[in-house]
A = this chain, B = another copy of it.
Amino acid sequence: MDDGTQAIRLTDEQRIDWLRLIRSQNIGPRTFRALINHFGGAHAALDAVPALARRGGSAAPQICSHQDAEREIEASRKLGAKLVAIGEADYPRRLQMIDDPPPLIAILGRASVFAMPQVAIVGSRNASAGGVKLTQRIAHGLCEAGFAIVSGLARGIDAAAHRASLSTGTVAVLAGGHDRIYPAEHAELLDAILPCGIALTEMPLGWEPRARDFPRRNRLISGLSLGVVIVEAAKRSGSLITARLALEQGREVFALPGSPLDPRAEGTNGLIKQGATPVTEAADIVSVLQPIMGTELPAREPQAPDGEASQSVEPASDERTRIVGLLSPAPVLIDDLIRLSQSSPRVVRMVLLELEIAGRLERHGGGLVSLL
């Protein structure tokens, strides 16, 4: 990375610990971050998980074994994929700045693509011929301006976006493992992407993507990118989820207008009505993105990859009861929990971690939590 910050590099043992932690039950990117921040490293966090779960009111979650983690790393290596940790040189800088970055991503292809500024192009699977043509035109224009194209390897607009940027650099973000390409007929497209581009996933090898994995994956598409271009999108389509996530992440949202009589334009026209930037050609996008390309990303609290374990707190049982009593399935702010419980922030955060590990808590964006 040329931005003056020092890239970290995990040891083999640290990488195994990181992988074990993120592959363990009830531990997603947010919980991972909270655990690492609290315990100072993945090793200490793994040790603490069983006790946390017990205090949170459940049996110990399934912990990914040392052997399984080693096996995944080895199998990835054989496939040519590399597991890259947040903070390492090959981890895309912009993705690191989202609210819930994956601690590890598996990448296959040319990591140097991440040094290019990236723009996502997404849209309906059921694309019109016109939509495909526009996608090509806009992707070509963006490639000429030096952007790499990010998309989701889906049929329709996504595939057209990748195909138009094969020789300049394209990033396919997968919802499943590297050995579970979806749709299967796009395995060849992926082969064409890798010489100058990259495939990326946060999911383990062998992971068959389920419906809910696609919205989760979409946050990576927007997270990697300076902006997201929506080409065609019906009402309530996955592309609109990507647009919403992009907005939440502070990314630019561009939409192509279409006839009000065309159902494939309902989503994009709706976005434009809500304030997305209307675009008809690549130059419209470049003129918005070029001024912000050089700007610094918002700084985030650094995440110590490993270090001194902070002193563990064990909340008193009545404190825990009071805090749990303040939670419900409706999301509340952690700050409000601290205020209302009159417990210390440390204690509140520990109780939340316990509940999370016990599979009883969900973390939303913006410091909101709810009971499951």
Contacts and interface: CB of A to CB of B under 8 A. Distances in A.
B273 A284 contact: yes
Interface stretch (A24-32, A61-69, A257-265, A327-335): A257-265
A281 interface: yes
A260 B273 CA distance: 17
Contact of A269 (B261, B262, B266, B280): B280
Given A260-B256, A265-B257, A280 B284 contact: no
A269 B133 CA distance: 18
The number of times this chain is found in the oligomer is 2
A278 interface: yes
A98 to B, nearest CB: 29
A107 to B, nearest CB: 34
A286 interface: no
A134 to B, nearest CB: 6
Contact of A257 (B134, B278, B281): B278
Nearest to A129: B261
A121 to B, nearest CB: 14
Interface centre among A133, A261, A279, by most chain B C-beta atoms within 10 angstroms, is A261
Given A269-B278, A284-B273, A259 B261 contact: no
Best-buried of A130, A258, A262, A281 by chain B (most CB within 10 Å):
A258
A320 to B, nearest CB: 49
Given A260-B280, A272-B272, 20 more contacts: A130-B261, A133-B261, A134-B261, A256-B259, A257-B257, A257-B258, A257-B259, A257-B260, A257-B265, A257-B278, A258-B258, A259-B259, A259-B262, A259-B265, A266-B280, A269-B280, A272-B278, A273-B278, A273-B284, A278-B278
Interface of A: 130, 133-134, 256-262, 265-266, 269, 272-273, 278-281, 284
